[in-house]
Amino acid sequence: MLTQDQKAIYHRDGYLMIEDAVTGDELRELRRITYDLIEKSRDVSESNDIYDLDEGHSAASPRLTRIKLPHRVHPYFWELLRASKITEVLTDLLGPDTMLQTSKLNTKAPGGGAAVEWHQDWAFYPHTNDSMLAFGLMLEDVDEDNGPLMVIPGSHKGEILSHMVNGVFCGAIDPHDPLFEKDKVVTLTGKAGSMTVHHARTLHGSAANRSDRARLILFYECHAADAWPLLGAGSYIHSLGQRRLWDDLQERLITGRLCLTPRLEKIPVSIPLPPAPDASSIFKSQKTGGAKSAFA
C-alpha cells in the first residue's frame, strides 16, 4: 500500500497523510453507523461505557466528545481494521504481527466541540518499545475551522515532555514548555476518507470545532505485537486476571500472531501516575488535572 517514500516520510517526521484510505462504500457505511449512534445518544443524560458527553448535550441537541471503543460497539469498525487498505498501511509500518491498543470515534460537535490539548500518546501508555501509532480516519471533511489534528514534525524522536501539573498526570503538556516548538506546527486537513497516521511519541493536539459542521474522526491506536504495556500505564488490562488477559490479547490481535517475548528498547519512559481526579478519558484528565490550554 505505502511507497518507500511514504514510509521514509513517516519515519522521518512521525506522521503521514493518506488520501482515499477507505472506499466510497466503506465510508458511507461508517457514516451511517456513526450518525445512528449519535442519534441514539439523545436518550443518554450522562457519560457511560459508550458515550462521552460534551457540555450542553441534550435530547434536543446531542453533543458528544467521543464514542468510546467503537470496535466493541459495532462489528463493522473491527472488520474495517482487519481487512481494508487500513490494514495494509498498518502492516507496512509495524510489520506482520499487530495489536489494537484502543479505538475511539471523536465527534466534535459544531460550534465549540471540545479541544484536545497538546500531548504525546506515549505519555499515557508507555510500552517495552515504541512501535506504536494512531490512525485518524476522517468521516467528514476536515478543514481549518472544525478542529483539525495538528502535529509537530520530528517530535517523535525527541524527549517525552512533562504531562504533569501540581504533581498530577493531567494528560497534556505545558504550552509554555521551551521544548514545545510551536513554530513547527503542521495542520492536517483533508477530505472525508482521508487518514492521518502519527507515531505514539509525536506531539499533537486539536483546537475546538468553531464551524457549523461536525468533525468526525475514527481513531485506531495500534502497536506491534512485541510491544507490551508497562505496569502503571493507562490501560484497562492491568485489572484483568491471567485468563481474561489471555482472552483479551486474542480479541485485540489484528494481524499475524501474538508475541509472548516482549522486545525491550532503551527509550524514554515516564509512568502516568498519580492520575487526575477523573481519568476516564483524555478530556476528563485534562480538565480535572488542571491542564493549561494552548488554545485559550
Using the predicted structure, report yes or no on whether residue 114 has a pLDDT greater than 80.
no
Residue 293 located in a structural domain: no
Residue 226 located in a structural domain: yes
CATH code at 131? 2.60.120.620
Number of folded domains that form the chain:
1
In tens, the pLDDT along 256-268 reads 999 999 999 999 9
* DSSP 8-class letter at 293: P
| Mean per-residue pLDDT over the chain, rounded | 95
In tens, the pLDDT along 52-68 reads 888 889 999 898 889 99
- What are the distances in angstroms from CA 276 to CA 163, 175, 221, 273, 279? 11, 18, 22, 8, 5
C-alpha cell at 45: 443524560
Residue 174 located in a structural domain: yes
Q: How many CB atoms lie within 10 A of CB 112?
A: 16
Residue 296 located in a structural domain: no
Q: Give one word for 164, left, alpha or beta, with left for phi > 0 and alpha for psi -120 to 50.
A: beta
* One-letter identity of residue 126: P
Is residue 265 within 8 Å of residue 129, measured between CB atoms?
Answer: yes
Residue 295 located in a structural domain: no
Q: What is the pTM of this model?
A: 0.95
Residue 221 located in a structural domain: yes
Cα–Cα dist 200/211, whole Å = 28
Q: How confident is the model at residue 236, as a pLDDT?
A: 82
Q: Where are the alpha helices (DSSP H) in the chain?
A: 4-13, 24-40, 70-73, 75-82, 85-94, 121-124, 242-252, 282-288
Question: What is the distance of C-alpha 61 from the center of its chain?
Answer: 25
Domain containing 203: what range?
4-288
3-state secondary structure of 4: helix
Residue 100 located in a structural domain: yes
Residue 45 located in a structural domain: yes
